[in-house]
C-alpha cells in the first residue's frame, strides 16, 4: 500500500512538473510568436520605406535619389534576408516546441490514466489482494531487509 502511495506521490509530482513545463513552453511559444510578428512588422516597414523611396526617385529623376534608392534596396535585401532567416529559425523553434508540447500532453494523459487506475485499485482493494503463505511472507521480509541495505532499492520493492 505504501508503494502505491509512494508511486502516487511520484506521479503527482511528475504531473505538477509537466504542468509547469507546459506553462513554460506555452510562454516561450507566445514570446516566439510575438517576435515573429515584430519581424513581420519590421519587414513591412522596410517594404513601405522602399516604396516611398521609389516614388521620390520617379518624381525627381535625380541621380542623388537614384543612388539613395540603390542603397535602400540593398538594405532591404539585407534586412529581408535576415528576417527570412529569423522567421525560419523561429518557425523551426515553434515546430520543435509544438512537438514537445504534444509529447507532454501525451505524457500528462498517461499520468492521468495511471492516477485513475490507481484510484480504481484503491477503491477495489480486495480485487487486487494476494494471499501470501507464511513461507512467502518470510521471503518478502528478507527482500525488504536487502532493499534497506542498497541505495537503489526501487527494483527490489517492485519485485516484492
Q: SS3 of 124, please? A: coil
State residue 127's pLDDT score.
Answer: 66
pLDDT above 80: residue 132 = no
- List phi, psi (to 5°) of 152: -110, 85
Domains, the chain, in order of start with CATH, read 2-125 (1.10.287), 130-160 (no CATH)
Between 57 and 112, whose confidence is greater? 112
State residue 44's pLDDT score.
Answer: 93
Q: Is the pTM here over 0.75, yes or no?
A: no
Percentage above 70 pLDDT, the chain: 94
State residue 154's pLDDT score.
Answer: 81
pLDDT above 70: residue 151 = yes
Percentage above 90 pLDDT, the chain: 52
pLDDT tens figures, 11-69: 899 999 999 999 999 999 999 999 999 999 999 999 999 888 887 767 766 677 678 88
Q: Largest Cα–Cα distance of the chain, in whole Å? A: 105
- In this structure, are residues 7 and 118 in contact, taking their beta carbons and an 8 Å threshold? yes
Which residue in the block uniquely carries the three cell numbers 507532454?
Answer: 104
* 79-85 LR contacts (CB < 8 Å, sep 24+): 79/42, 79/43, 79/46, 80/43, 80/46, 83/39, 83/40, 83/42, 83/43
State residue 128's pLDDT score.
Answer: 65
Amino acid at each position: 500500500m505504501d508503494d502505491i502511495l509512494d508511486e502516487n506521490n511520484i506521479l503527482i509530482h511528475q504531473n505538477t512538473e509537466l504542468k509547469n513545463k507546459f506553462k513554460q513552453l506555452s510562454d516561450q511559444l507566445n514570446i516566439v510568436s510575438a517576435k515573429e510578428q515584430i519581424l513581420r512588422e519590421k519587414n513591412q516597414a522596410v517594404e513601405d520605406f522602399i516604396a516611398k523611396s521609389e516614388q521620390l526617385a520617379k518624381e525627381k529623376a535625380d541621380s542623388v535619389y537614384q543612388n539613395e534608392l540603390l542603397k535602400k534596396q540593398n538594405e532591404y535585401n539585407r534586412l529581408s534576408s535576415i528576417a527570412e532567416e529569423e522567421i525560419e529559425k523561429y518557425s523551426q523553434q515553434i515546430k520543435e516546441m509544438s512537438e514537445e508540447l504534444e509529447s507532454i500532453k501525451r505524457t500528462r494523459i498517461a499520468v492521468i490514466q495511471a492516477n485513475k487506475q490507481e484510484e480504481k485499485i484503491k477503491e477495489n482493494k480486495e480485487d487486487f489482494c494476494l494471499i501470501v503463505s507464511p513461507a512467502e511472507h518470510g521471503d518478502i521480509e528478507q527482500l525488504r531487509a536487502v532493499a534497506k541495505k542498497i541505495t537503489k532499492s526501487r527494483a527490489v520493492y517492485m519485485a516484492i
